[in-house]
Amino acid sequence: MLAFKIGGKSAYPPLAKVEPVPAPSSPRQNTALAAKGDLLFEGYGCSACHGARGAAAGGKVPNLNRMPPADLAMLKQVVQQGALSANGMLQFKGMPDSDAEALFAYVINEAWAAHDRSTRKPKQEGSKP
């Protein structure tokens, strides 16, 4: 939080250093499948806990951009089989494998997008777009 004083002359504090998002261990996924996963991410209510695009900020819920599932089998263990239900993660027993595959594609592609954004070099002033 910042407080301001009219006529104040203090310098603006330095911004916190943001660590780059690590590259996911899984390769980029099929974009059409990920688009279906985008709809399912909202439909299953994933964003209620994991935030928009899986980028939860703070708390005990994993930021899926920084900690995506290692592979589809892991996502299925967590989401369909309830491997983390003791930690508060909901279990979706009736989720079809096709939905799990689409959610995995979405989460992985969003993690790659977050990685790309965090490692992009800022544009120089006066440079062409």
| Residue-wise pLDDT tens digits, 15-61 | 888 789 999 999 999 999 999 999 999 999 999 999 999 999 877 88
Q: What is the pLDDT of residues 60-116, one digit of tens each?
A: 889 999 999 999 999 999 999 999 999 999 999 999 999 999 999 999 999 999 999
pTM comes to: 0.82
Superfamily of domain 33-118: Cytochrome c-like domain (1.10.760.10)
Tell me how far CA of residue 37 lies from CA of 13, 95, 99, in angstroms: 40, 13, 7
Per the rule left: phi > 0, alpha: psi between -120 and 50, beta: everything else, 65 is alpha
Q: Output the 3-class SS for the chain.
A: CCCCCCCCCCCCCCCCCCCCCCCCCCCCCCHHHHHHHHHHHHHCCHHHHHCHHHCCCCCCCCCCCCCCCCCHHHHHHHHCCCCCHHHCCCCCCCCCHHHHHHHHHHHHHHHHHHHHHHHCCCCCCCCCC
Q: For helices 31-43 and 97-119, give the axis angle rounded to 10 degrees.
A: 100
